[in-house]
Amino acid sequence: MWFRRAPRACTMRSVIDEDPYLWLEDVEGEAALEWVAERNNETEAALAADSGFAPLKERLREVLDASDRIPYAVRRGAFLYNFWKDAEHVRGVWRRTTPEQYRKDAPEWEVLLDVDALAAAEGEKWMWAGARVRHPDYGRALVCLSRDGGDAVVVREYDLAARSFVEGGFQVGEAKTHIEWADTDTVFIGTDFGPGSLTDAGYPRTIRTWRRGTPLEEAAQVFEAGTGDVAAWSRHDTTPGFERDFVARWLDFFRSEMFLLTPDAGLVRIDVPDDADAHAHRRHLVVHPKSDWLGQPAGSLLAFDFDAFLAGDRTVEVLFTPDERTALSRYSWTRRHLVLETMRDVSTRIEVLTPGPGGAWARSPLADVPALSAVTVVDTDPDVSDEYFLDVSGFLQPPTLHHGRIGADSEILKQTPARFATAGLAVEQFFATSLDGTRVPYFVIGPAHSPGGPGPVLLYGYGGFEVSLTPSYDAVTGRAWLERGGTYVVANIRGGGEYGPDWHQAALGADRPRAYEDFAAVATDLVARGITTPAMLGATGASNGGLLMGAMLTRYPHLFGAIVVQVPLLDMLRFHKLLAGASWTAEYGNPDTGADRPHLREISPYHQLTADRDYPPVLLTTSTRDDRVHPGHARKAAARLRELGHPVLFHENTGGGHAGASNNEESAHNEALVHTFLWRHLTRAERPAMD
């Protein structure tokens, strides 16, 4: 057996008042890393030695490195830019090509930056973290590089024509930096300027203008957020004829105040509710409120004349009104149109809205989308044309990239080949009834008919931060799970955004258990339908979904045969003191307040673990370089489970940040560990006996 129960005597020590595992929060402390190495060795011995591990990892690596993946690109002037990883380019290359070349099966790419070569030359584990290409000349870029996957980055100015970094150009040391071009020789920047310049959450508190050739510390401050806010933010609108500067303070994860920055550094408040998303495009201001406003329900999309709105005019054009089954997903501008993506029972739809004279907007469908599928606008060119790139996919439908212009027929530009066998598989949608009577949708992907009776099922969920789980093609899950006869299930529980703001807000703060009740209801419904049994039902989730898994472990252990908890939050009494945790108090509550601490203790898996319950086998994973969700959450929970004598394995990747992996090799290894663990436990009729 790969685990052994310890005697239960002397295992009832509480971690509420005195946490014996605080030393595991020392991310790179010698004792902590020694403990991590021991646990990693145990997990490797238990799982990587399995006869099926190496072949599975090789098949997953093949998928991740496949050369015929769609190279998704964004237009910047005359070129389409793409970042690409494969077996040859482990850390990846930033490259570009022309639209004419992009149409070919094998485009000719101009490599701008080889991250592998840069990492080798500088002796750093650089990872690509994006670039801001200067508009409208597209001659320079602000390149962001992360050390081994962390959220903190270094910034360097890059000359696209010379294909080299600019000597004496804009450079910023490692920090959680926000940077934006203001003009050819000026940037807006928020970074770590020393004591008092960061919020409690560790993000920039000030926005400053930094002129080329001047010291960073002399950058002039133009805006300041509070230390208790999440972050300060800026945006320069480069649209010809509508050049404008905006700054904002994020009061918490969901509320913000946005201002127009005038030429004399004055601030004009964009007077929308602080829970609304607002975006200016040319003469329009588009607002997506998360609460009722101006007689319109939460989740609407509203349009105003920007200048008239600033002058106090609240004449509104309603672009979208939600109902109990339909919610707004995304919207994107082209030069003359607004492309609207909506969800009806979590399947996406897409249409085009066109502003007309007198404020009226016309609407028409953009594309037909198959049932139980998803459509996403990959890129548009809002300054110049009505061009769009559109991706359509589904659980069993490989992605197809369409290209077109509003008002003309679109064409299929690229298509991903099928990566796993789908014969005999089907996608269905069911609804479970939660404890309070709420109908909770979920997708089932697996054998169309199960004459052999219940089988192994992997149930995935997230349930937080208004994140929606829509249909998508996942070749890794396809090869690692579906091809072997497993069924995959995606639960659209409350806390997400599948039915708009109300669906999210129903599970905020003290109401968090509703998300857990929803997930448990789906698990129960799967058993009631004969799709699986508790012994053959596994669950997995990451980040906030890792907290969800912790809740399943401590609240509903009888429903599951195995649980995988990835890069999780688990200590809900200290999360706000660890890395970016202070930015999430609007989602969960603040442990330092008397009103919130009781319910946070109740939903804190770390504090709910006991010796006198039988838990299913658990695999906890995290990353040493995760500077968003502290690896201490997973470490401490694993140590506590071990102390209490429960079955647990732990794996911590040394790099990769919150993604948990810095390259395809590490991703394939992590996925092979997870699916080997799950398949081993869920294909048994009963849970293994404890030694």
Q: What is the 3-state secondary structure (H, E, C) of 452-490?
A: CCCCCEEEECCCCCCCCCCCCCCHHHHHHHHCCCCEEEE
pLDDT band for position 11 (cuts 50, 70, 90): very low
Q: Looking at the domain assignment, is residue 362 inside a domain?
A: yes
Per-residue pLDDT for 15 more than 70? no
| Pair (340, 437) in one structural domain | no
Return d(Cα 395, Cα 168) in angstroms, integer: 49
Answer for the pair 301, 320: CB distance below 8 angstroms, yes or no: yes
- For residues 586-609, one letter each, b for 16 or more C-beta atoms within 10 angstroms of the residue's C-beta and e for the rest, the string is bbbbbbeeeebbebbeebbbbbbb
Residue 519 and residue 587 in one domain: yes
Q: Is residue 30 part of a domain?
A: no
CATH no. for residue 460? 3.40.50.1820
DSSP code at position 13: -
CA-based nearest residue to 568, from 516, 613, 604: 604
Show the tokens assigned to 583. Answer: 């930015």
Q: What is the pLDDT of residue 359?
A: 76
d(CA 109, CA 115) in angstroms, rounded, equals 15
**Region of 129 on the Ramachandran plot (φ > 0 left; ψ -120 to 50 alpha; else beta):** alpha
Q: Do both 438 and 399 map to the same domain?
A: no
- Which pLDDT score, from 0 to 100, does residue 368 have? 79
Q: Residue 513 corresponds to which amino acid?
A: P
Residue bearing the bigger pLDDT, 533 or 8: 533
- Looking only at Cα atoms, what is the longest distance across the chain? 78
Average pLDDT, stretch 53-66?
A: 97
The model's pLDDT over 623-673, given as tens digits with 9 standing for 90+, comes to 999 999 999 999 999 999 999 999 999 999 999 999 999 899 999 999 999
pLDDT beyond 80 at 440:
yes
Q: What span, in angstroms and rounded, lies between the C-alpha atoms of 120 and 126?
A: 9
Residue 50 forms part of a structural domain = no
High-pLDDT (> 70) share of the chain, %: 96
> Is residue 211 scored above 60 in pLDDT?
yes
**Residue 372: inside a domain, yes or no?**
yes
Tell whether 183 is covered by a domain. no
Mean of all residue pLDDT scores within the chain: 94
Q: Is 543 a catalytic residue?
A: yes
Residues 341 and 310 in one domain: no
**Active-site option among 234, 300, 543, 667:** 543
Q: Is the pLDDT of residue 443 over 90?
A: yes
Q: How confident is the model at residue 16 (pLDDT cuts 50, 70, 90)?
A: low
Cβ density class 179-194: b for 16+ within 10 Å, e for less? bbbbeeebbbbbbbbe
Is the pLDDT reported for residue 691 higher than 90?
no
289 has pLDDT over 80: yes
Q: Which of 417, 445, 462 is the last residue of a domain?
A: 417
- Between residues 524 and 449, which one has the greater pLDDT? 524
- Tell me which residue range forms the domain holding 366: 323-417
Q: What is the dihedral of CA 591, 514, 299, 546, to 10 degrees?
A: 60
For position 4, what pLDDT does the model report?
31
Considering only 13-27, 173-187, 646-660, which range has the smallest mean pLDDT?
Answer: 13-27
Mention every residue, 6+ apart, whose C-beta is less than 8 A from residue 104. Answer: none
Say if 102 falls within a structural domain: no
Answer yes or no: is 507 within a domain.
yes
Q: Do 85 and 91 meet the contact criterion of CB atoms below 8 Å apart?
A: yes
Same domain, 400 and 546: no
pLDDT given at position 453: 84
- CA–CA–CA angle 403, 407, 411 (5° rounding): 25
Higher pLDDT, 146 or 451: 146
pLDDT band at 265 (very low <50, low <70, confident <90, very high): confident
Task: Tell me, yes or no, whether 550 and 617 share the same domain.
Answer: yes
Q: Is the pLDDT of residue 690 over 70?
A: no
Tokens standing for residue 573: 């009494």
Distance from C-alpha of 496 to C-alpha of 538, rounded to nearest angstrom:
21
Q: State the Cα–Cα distance between residues 40 and 18, nearest whole angstrom.
A: 27
The answer to whether residues 311 and 392 belong to one domain is no
Cβ(416)–Cβ(68) below 8 Å: yes
Give domain status of residue 252, yes or no: no
Give pLDDT, residue 3: 33
CA distance 149 to 528: 42
Q: Are residues 337 and 310 in the same domain?
A: no
Query: Could you tell me if 312 and 380 lie in one domain?
Result: no
Same domain, 453 and 505: yes
Q: How far apart are CA 488 and CA 482, in angstroms?
A: 7
CA dist., res. 26 & res. 7, Å (int) = 29
Whole-number pLDDT of residue 451: 59
Q: What is the pTM of this model?
A: 0.94
6 — pLDDT class (breaks 50, 70, 90): very low
Smallest Cα–Cα separation from 337: which of 349, 358, 322, 354? 354
| Identified catalytic residue from 402, 504, 658, 681 | 658
Give the residue from 394, 417, 440 where a domain finishes.
417
Domain boundary among 298, 321, 344: 321
Collapsing DSSP states into helix, strand and coil, what is residue 229? coil
- DSSP code for 168: T
Assign 663 to helix, strand or coil.
coil
Average pLDDT over residues 522-544: 98
Structure confidence at residue 192 (pLDDT): 97
Q: H-helix or E-strand containing 668?
A: helix 664-682
Question: Which pLDDT tens digit goes with each residue over 445-488?
Answer: 999 866 568 999 999 999 999 999 999 999 999 999 999 999 99
Q: Is the pLDDT of residue 396 over 60?
A: yes
Domain tally for the chain? Answer: 3
- In tens, the pLDDT along 307-362 reads 999 999 999 999 999 999 999 999 999 999 999 999 999 999 999 999 988 778 99
Q: Are residues 296 and 397 located together in one domain of the fold?
A: no
Residue 180 carries which side chain, given as an amino acid letter? E
Contacts of 69 (CB under 8 A, 6+ apart): 416
Is residue 355 domain-shared with residue 480, that is, in the same domain? no
